[in-house]
């Protein structure tokens, strides 16, 4: 039986995987999302940890409807944290370390 196993194993080829590319490019973001990240980073530099969505929309000149989409996309990438509150309080947003890292990689 051992001879049969060895004979069967001799015909097996092990395919080598290519090494993963260590230098991965940061993902491209739409200009609105870049503005959102930069605005939040500027606030963080001033010691302001989070911003209400309405202030963020006004500061970045992104409409509230579009802001919801862009924040959802940035949240999926772990670039921002969105604090979801029950009514009547609106959500507040802050930049995450991933968002800061993405901005630093662009410079």
How far apart are alpha carbons 37 and 62 in whole angstroms? 12
For range 35-64, the mean pLDDT? 95
User: Does residue 81 sit in helix, strand or coil?
Assistant: strand
User: Does residue 84 sit in helix, strand or coil?
Assistant: coil
Backbone angles phi, psi at 89, to 5 degrees: -75, 135
Supply the CATH classification number for the domain 30-106: 1.10.10.10
Picking from 52-56, 61-65, 87-91, which range would have the lowest pLDDT averaged per residue?
A: 87-91
pLDDT at 82: 94
pLDDT at 22: 46
Indicate the pLDDT class of residue 19, thresholds 50, 70 and 90: low
- The sign of the CA dihedral 60, 70, 65, 91 is negative
How far apart are alpha carbons 37 and 80 in whole angstroms? 8
């Amino acid at each position: 039986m051992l001879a049969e196993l060895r004979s069967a194993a001799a015909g097996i080829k092990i395919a080598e995987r290519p090494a993963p590319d260590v230098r991965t490019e940061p993902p491209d973001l739409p200009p609105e999302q870049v503005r959102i990240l930069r605005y939040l980073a500027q606030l963080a530099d001033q010691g302001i940890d989070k911003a209400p969505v309405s202030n963020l929309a006004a500061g970045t000149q992104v409409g509230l409807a579009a802001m919801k989409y862009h924040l959802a996309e940035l949240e999926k990438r772990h670039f921002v944290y969105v604090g979801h509150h029950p009514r009547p309080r609106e959500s507040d947003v802050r930049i995450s370390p991933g968002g800061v890292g993405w901005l630093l990689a662009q410079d």
